[in-house]
Structures are given as C-alpha cells and as structure tokens.
Amino acid sequence: MTLLAHLLLLFSIISATSAVPLKTLHQLFLKADADANANATQSYYPSLPPSLDPWYRAPTTHDWTQTDPGQVLKIRHAPLLNLTVRNALRAYQLLYRSTDSAYNPSWDVTTLFIPRWQARCWSTAASTRWCAHALLSYQLPYDTCNVDASPSFGLQLVGEPYGEVADALGLGWFVAVPDYEGPLASYAAGVQAGHATLDGVRAVLQVAGYFGLRMDVAKVALWGYSGGALASEWAAELAGQYAPKLRIAGVALGGLTPNVTSVTEYLNGREGAGLIPQGLMGIATQHPDAYRWIVSRLRPRLRGLFLSVRRMTAAQAIATFQYQDIYGYFVGGYQDLHTRVMQMMYNVDGYMGYHGVPRMPVFIYNAINDELSDIRDVDELVDRFCGVGANILYHRNTVGTHTQELVNGRQRAFAWLRSVLDGSYDEVYSSMGCTIQNVTYNIAPWVGWG
C-alpha cells in the first residue's frame, strides 16, 4: 500500500470518529504526500512559534474536553523536520487531549518521525518484514518555561542537539518527541510532564498503524535525560493509575532530578543557577497561588530580570544567572521558597517516588559526581522503588559530570532500549528485582547543558 493510500485510509477512519475535526484534513494529507515527495532541496520555512501559531490552540469546533486523554485533536505535516533531523522520511505534528497537574483537561503536542527505511514497507506488498515494530517516545530536555522553546518548534530551527532521534530512526524505530511541558511551558511540573508523555504515546498509537507500524507486535519504550528524564520518570510512576491499559516495554532514565527542592539548593550559586528561576516559574504555572506568591516576594529592583526567564531558553537563563544567589532575589530569601503554599506545590509536582511504582523494566544511569542533582537523591529513589518490587538496572558512573554522562551513558541506553524493543530483554538483563552497579565509562568530552 502506498503512503497516499495509507493517508486516505487514515483520513476516512479519523473522519468517522471525529478525532481530528479539520475541514481540510483530506487536502492536508494530499498536500503532505506531495510535499514529502518534492525535490529534497526544496526550501521550507519553519512555522510560527507556538505563542503566535493558531495551530497550537485547542479546537473550537467541538468540546474537546469531553474526549479521552490521548485523543488526537489535530494533525499536520512538518516538512522542515525531514531536513533538520537525519534519517527521518517524514514528520507529523499531533495535538492531543491531555491532563494537567490538577487533573483538568489540557492539551499537548508531539512530533512523530517516520524512519527512512519505512519506505520499503510502503513499497513492498509481498512482506511486512520491512515495517517498523517499535515506537520510542524520546523526551528531549528543553528545561525552560518559554513555550517558544518547545521541541516541536525548536527542532525545525536547529535540528536536534544530541543526535539521539536520528540514531533511533536509523534503527528503524518510529520516534515521537512530545512537548511534555504543555501549553504553559510548565518546566519541572512532574505530573503535567508525566501525563503529557503518556498521552503523547496514546495519541501516536492512534495513527501509527496507518503509517506502517506493526501494531500486532509493536513495543513502546520511553527515554529521557535530565529534564527529559523528569518527564519519563513521572510517566513511569503515573502509568499504573493514569494509563493502566497502555503497555510500555521499558523506560531509560539518565541524569535524574528526583527532588526539586534539593536540586534548587544544590544549584544555587553554581554555574547552573539559571535553572532555578526557570524551574520556579515553570512549575508555578500549574499552581496559581504559588505563582502569585513567588511574584509578590521578588525584590522590586530584581523582579523584571527574574521574570524575564519566561522569554529565555535554558542556555540563555544559565548564561544570565550563573553563579548567582537566587535566594537573594526574594525579600525573605530562602524562607520565601519554603512556605506552606510553596510546599504544597512541591508535594504535588516536585518529588519523584510518591505517585506509583513503575510496572515496567527501568534503566537508570547517573554520574556519581553529577553537578545538577545530588546522587544521594537518585539512590534514595531507587531504594524506594526496589523495596516494593520494581525491576531496575542502576548504573552509578564513577567518572564524569551531569553533562558528560549524557554522552557516557548513550550507548548503554541504546543497548538496553534495543533489548526491550526487540524482545530480548529477559535474555540479556535480569528481569527480577534490582541490579545496582558502580561502573566506569569515560568517553565524553565536555558538552553543553542538557
């Protein structure tokens, strides 16, 4: 079956179920097929940033809040991503129904990449062996409360920073990259991020079969490092109660930040201090009382600078606030960030390990000398999960930093993910209990913040 036939079939099914209520969806898919087959040197321009793009809005044609979490609400072709991300045959953006940290209806966006070798699936009628059998939800760390830095837009401008999406596509996997911070860019809000990640997988699975994913045998895995690990870990522990029917084969987590208040104290006065205002403004978007408190307690002469993080990327915030005492921006200093209203926010969205136990195998890799988060917090999280029956492989790297472990752990993560996605996990790794190992992998040069 050709891609055009797949798209027409997808259109007919979606139209019947009103999953994607766009009048021009038929024409959009026809145009998408024509664009995707155009000359490879064709010039494309990125869409508007999310804050200005009408597509990044919930539908107005029907009450989308009454649909199920993970329901696809809009879909569009993203042709520029074919050029900025290696090994991508085509890319699509899906806007889907989700749930915020207060369990109110919300929406999010994910970007679905089709691997290049999927063309053999579409062009070969004799066998389905060329059709992909795996979906990786890759949570890219974007660590900012600026919605215009969301991956669905940023990937069009500069491509991916680490090459991991391209490598996963090179293995023939479908890859989805969600804007897991949501429409408010709720950086560090764990429940929001976990819901968005799980619903992004559910949304992709609604349409992936029509693009050739072998739904009869397809396995799903999650992967994230640093801020991406935050979203992936929260998805793993929320899955049992929020998405009990969603089957996830495994979750790989690197550079974990299990405790938001501990991270704040750990980063203050260090190079990465700029992540503190980003995190505070991001998580507080899910907690209006805490947001008002934060703004009210900022010193008047410093308020404008602190609030300017809403327009910054993570790198810009780090450059602006590096080595500063962030507590000094507040009238009451440290105490202003530990009042009752702030603690209520942290209790909901800031501490991993209290919302459920991962029911799938988990691989955790962390540098012992991580400069962003105290390794003892990761140890405590692993101990908590292992004490109630989780299946975890935990690598504590004796060398490197947070930024270097991004590279040092990459091949181990890929090897582990391949085992859960090709079905060989039980043959390679222990499928019962926890394995905790101190390891030494030192292959990375210094790399930027992730």
Mark whether 6 is an active-site residue: no
Tokens of 19: 């999953």
The helix or strand, by DSSP H or E, that contains position 92, with its residue range, turns out to be strand 88-99
- Amino acid 28: pLDDT: 41
Of 370, 373, 377, 395, catalytic:
370
Report the C-alpha gap between 439 and 432 in whole angstroms. Answer: 20
What sign has the CA pseudo-torsion 204, 209, 211, 212?
positive
Q: Reading across the β-sheet that carries 362-367, which strands appear in turn?
A: 72-77, 88-99, 105-115, 174-178, 134-139, 219-225, 250-254, 362-367, 392-397, 434-439
- Amino acid 61: pLDDT: 75
Q: State the pTM of this model.
A: 0.90
Report the chain (450 residues): mean pLDDT per 10 consecutive residues: 42 38 42 47 66 92 90 91 88 97 97 92 68 95 97 92 95 97 98 98 94 92 98 98 97 98 96 97 98 98 98 96 98 98 98 97 98 96 97 97 96 98 95 97 65
DSSP reduced 3-state for 335: helix
- Does domain 260-349 match CATH 3.40.50.1970? no
- Amino acid 433: pLDDT: 96
Say if residues 68 and 107 touch (Cβ distance below 8 Å): no
- Amino acid 83: pLDDT: 81
Mark whether 226 is an active-site residue: yes
Q: Select from 268, 273, 258 the least CA-distant residue to 226.
A: 258
Residue 325 DSSP code:
-
Instruction: Give the residue range(s) of CATH 1.10.260.130 domains in the chain.
Output: 260-349
The helix or strand, by DSSP H or E, that contains position 293, with its residue range, turns out to be helix 288-297
Q: Which CATH class is domain 3-248?
A: alpha beta
- Amino acid 154: pLDDT: 93
Q: Select from 93, 92, 176 the least CA-distant residue to 134.
A: 176
Angle between helices 288-297 and 340-349 (to 10 degrees): 130
Q: How far is CA 318 from the centre of its chain?
A: 21
Q: Which residues contact 402 (CB under 8 A, 6 or more apart)?
A: 226, 255, 367, 370, 371, 372, 373, 450
Say if residues 33 and 210 touch (Cβ distance below 8 Å): no
Q: Select from 247, 271, 213 the least CA-distant residue to 449.
A: 271
Say if residues 113 and 91 touch (Cβ distance below 8 Å): yes
Of 226, 232, 373, 419, catalytic:
226
Instruction: Give the residue range(s) of CATH 3.40.50.1820 domains in the chain.
Output: 3-248
The helix or strand, by DSSP H or E, that contains position 115, with its residue range, turns out to be strand 105-115
* Ramachandran quadrant class, 352 (left: phi over 0; alpha: psi -120 to 50; beta: rest): beta
Length of the chain: 450
Q: Which residues contact 150 (CB under 8 A, 6 or more apart)?
A: 50, 109, 142, 179, 181, 185
Mark whether 402 is an active-site residue: yes
